[in-house]
C-alpha cells in the first residue's frame, strides 16, 4: 500500500511559493518573507490551561508569509490554502465578534499588539503552508506567529530579538486566537512556534510562562507523526467543557489552578489521593487525576530526556495516552488504533498529541523503522474502514523568523 508522506518544504521552496503568490495577487514585491513552525507536544497534554508543564518541539513544517506594510489601516490577505479570493478588513474595525474567516487569526495578532499599545499598521500578506490544516499540529499558531514576526519587523517593535519579547508576541497570538478567531487555546502552541530553539525541546511552565531549552536528539530513535485525518467536529464544545471542569475542580479545592494543588502536596500520588477524597463527582475526579498525573509525568519525562533515557521517556508517553483515553476521554478510535499499532510495531512510546478528538498521534520508534510502523498503521486503518492517515517525521526545528 502506498503511504501518504507530508514532507516539509525547504526555506527556499516556501519563500519562493509565497513570493510568487504575493506578486500574482498584489502585482508588486513584498517587503520580505517570514515563517513559523507547527509543533508536536511530546508530553504534557491539557496541562497548559491548568498552570502545568508541557514539552513541545517545533516541526520542520512551517507556514510561510510574504508581507508588505501599508501606509493605511487596510489588511488584504490571500492564502494558497484558501479559496483564491482576497480576505479583507480594516484594522480599526477589528474587535471580538466582529470578524469571520481565516483572516481573523491574522488581524487578531495586529489587534492584540495594538491593544498592548504597540504601533501596528495595515498590510498585504500572502500565505502558503506545509503544516497540515486542522491536524492538531498547530497550523493556526504557525499562521499567527509568522505574522507576529512580520509585524514585529514592520513596526520595528524589537520583540522577536529576545525570549521575553517573543513571549509578548506569543501572548498577542493567544489573544488573537481566543478573542478574535474565537477558538479556545491554552498557550502552548504559540509558545512553541515563537520560543522553541533549533535542536531543542521547549519545556514550558505555564504557571509563570518560563521556558527551558533541552536538547532533543533521541539517539537510536526517530519521531513519527501520524495525521489521523479523523473528523473532529465535537472539538470546541468538548475542549471548553474540559477547561470548565478543571476550573471548577480547582475552585472546589480552593486553589487558583490544579498545578498549585500538585505543588502543595508532598508528591503526586498524595496530591491525587487528597483531591479524589474531596471531589465527589466521578467525572471531575477522573479529569483531575489526568491533569495531576500528567503534570507529574511531564516532570519525569523531562528528567528522562536530560538523562537520555528514552525507554523511560517512552513509557511515560504511553501512560500519558492511556490517561487521556481513560480519564480525560479525549481520544477517538483513530488515535487509539494509531497508538496501539505503533506500540505493537516496536515504538518505545506512542500517544495522541494536541487537544484530541481527532488530530495527530506521535510515536518514538527505533531509527529507520518509521516506514514499517507507518505501513502497519495504514493497514490497521484500512482494516477498520477508517480514512487513510498521512505521515510525517521531523526533528526539533527552529522558531518563527
Question: Can you tell me which of 35, 47, 140, 331 binds ligand ADP, judged by CB under 6 A?
Answer: 140
Euclidean distance between CA atoms 190 and 172, whole angstroms: 9
Secondary structure letter of residue 257 according to DSSP: S
Q: Is 140 in the site for Mg ion (CB under 5 A)?
A: yes
Kindly determine how many residues on this chain lie close enough to bind ligand ADP according to the rule CB under 6 A.
18
Euclidean distance between CA atoms 2 and 10, whole angstroms: 24
Q: x/- string (CB under 6 A) for ligand ADP, residues 171-200?
A: ------------x-----------------
Secondary structure letter of residue 73 according to DSSP: S
Q: Cell 495516552 sits at which residue?
A: 321
How far, in Å, are 227, 342, 349, 384 from residue 380 at the CA level? 14, 10, 18, 6
Euclidean distance between CA atoms 161 and 383, whole angstroms: 50
Euclidean distance between CA atoms 100 and 183, whole angstroms: 12
Give least dist CB 129 to ligand ADP, A. 4
Q: Is 235 in the site for Mg ion (CB under 5 A)?
A: no
Q: Is 332 in the site for ligand ADP (CB under 6 A)?
A: no
Task: Decide whether 47 or 140 has the Cβ nearer to Mg ion.
Answer: 140
Give least dist CB 141 to Mg ion, A. 6
Give least dist CB 191 to Mg ion, A. 13
Q: x/- string (CB under 6 A) for ligand ADP, residues 112-131?
A: ---------------x-x--
Q: Is 189 a catalytic residue?
A: yes
Q: Which of residues 25-84 bind ligand ADP (CB under 6 A)?
A: 63, 79, 81-82
The count of other CB atoms within 10 Å of the CB of residue 205 is: 16
Give least dist CB 233 to Mg ion, A. 15
**Catalytic pick from 189, 217, 327, 336?**
189
Residue 258 near residue 291, CB atoms below 8 Å = yes
Task: Decide whether 314 or 354 has the Cβ nearer to Mg ion.
Answer: 354
Q: Which residues contact 163 (CB under 8 A, 6 or more apart)?
A: 195, 211
Residues annotated as catalytic are 189
Amino acid at each position: 500500500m502506498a503511504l501518504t508522506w507530508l514532507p516539509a518544504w525547504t526555506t527556499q521552496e516556501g519563500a519562493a511559493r509565497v513570493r510568487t503568490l504575493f506578486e500574482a495577487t498584489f502585482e508588486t514585491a513584498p517587503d520580505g518573507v517570514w515563517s513559523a513552525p507547527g509543533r508536536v507536544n511530546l508530553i504534557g497534554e491539557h496541562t497548559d490551561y491548568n498552570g502545568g508543564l508541557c514539552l513541545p518541539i517545533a516541526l520542520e513544517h512551517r507556514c510561510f508569509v510574504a508581507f508588505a506594510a501599508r501606509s493605511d489601516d487596510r489588511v488584504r490577505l490571500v492564502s494558497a490554502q484558501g479559496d483564491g479570493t482576497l480576505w479583507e478588513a480594516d484594522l480599526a474595525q477589528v474587535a471580538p465578534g466582529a470578524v469571520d474567516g481565516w483572516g481573523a487569526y491574522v488581524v487578531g495578532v495586529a489587534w492584540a499588539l495594538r491593544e498592548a499599545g504597540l504601533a501596528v499598521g495595515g498590510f498585504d500578506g500572502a500565505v502558503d503552508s506545509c503544516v497540515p490544516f486542522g491536524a492538531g499540529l498547530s497550523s493556526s499558531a504557525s499562521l499567527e506567529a509568522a505574522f507576529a514576526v512580520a509585524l514585529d519587523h514592520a513596526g520595528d517593535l524589537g520583540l522577536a530579538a529576545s525570549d521575553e519579547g517573543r513571549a509578548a508576541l506569543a501572548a498577542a497570538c493567544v489573544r488573537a486566537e481566543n478573542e478574535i478567531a474565537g477558538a479556545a487555546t491554552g498557550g502552548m502552541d504559540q509558545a512553541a512556534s515563537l520560543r522553541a530553539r533549533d535542536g531543542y525541546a521547549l519545556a514550558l511552565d505555564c504557571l509563570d510562562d518560563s521556558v527551558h531549552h533541552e536538547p532533543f536528539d533521541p539517539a537510536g530513535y526517530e519521531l513519527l507523526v501520524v495525521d489521523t485525518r479523523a473528523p473532529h467536529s465535537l472539538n470546541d464544545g468538548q475542549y471548553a467543557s474540559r477547561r470548565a471542569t478543571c476550573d471548577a475542580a480547582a475552585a472546589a479545592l480552593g486553589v487558583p489552578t490544579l498545578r498549585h494543588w500538585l505543588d502543595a502536596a508532598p508528591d503526586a500520588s498524595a496530591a491525587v489521593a487528597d483531591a479524589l477524597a474531596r471531589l465527589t463527582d466521578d467525572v471531575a475526579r477522573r479529569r483531575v487525576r489526568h491533569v495531576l498525573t500528567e503534570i507529574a509525568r511531564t516532570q519525569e519525562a523531562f528528567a528522562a530526556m536530560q538523562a537520555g533515557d528514552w525507554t523511560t521517556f517512552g513509557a511515560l508517553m504511553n501512560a500519558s495516552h492511556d490517561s487521556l483515553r481513560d480519564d480525560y476521554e479525549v481520544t477517538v478510535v483513530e488515535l487509539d488504533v494509531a497508538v496501539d499499532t505503533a506500540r505493537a510495531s516496536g515504538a518505545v512510546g506512542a500517544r495522541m498529541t494536541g487537544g484530541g478528538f481527532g488530530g495527530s498521534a506521535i510515536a518514538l520508534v527505533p531509527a529507520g523503522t518509521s516506514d514499517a510502523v507507518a505501513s502497519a498503521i495504514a493497514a490497521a486503518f484500512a482494516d477498520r474502514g477508517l480514512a487513510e492517515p498521512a505521515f510525517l517525521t521531523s526533528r526539533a526545528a527552529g522558531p518563527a523568523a
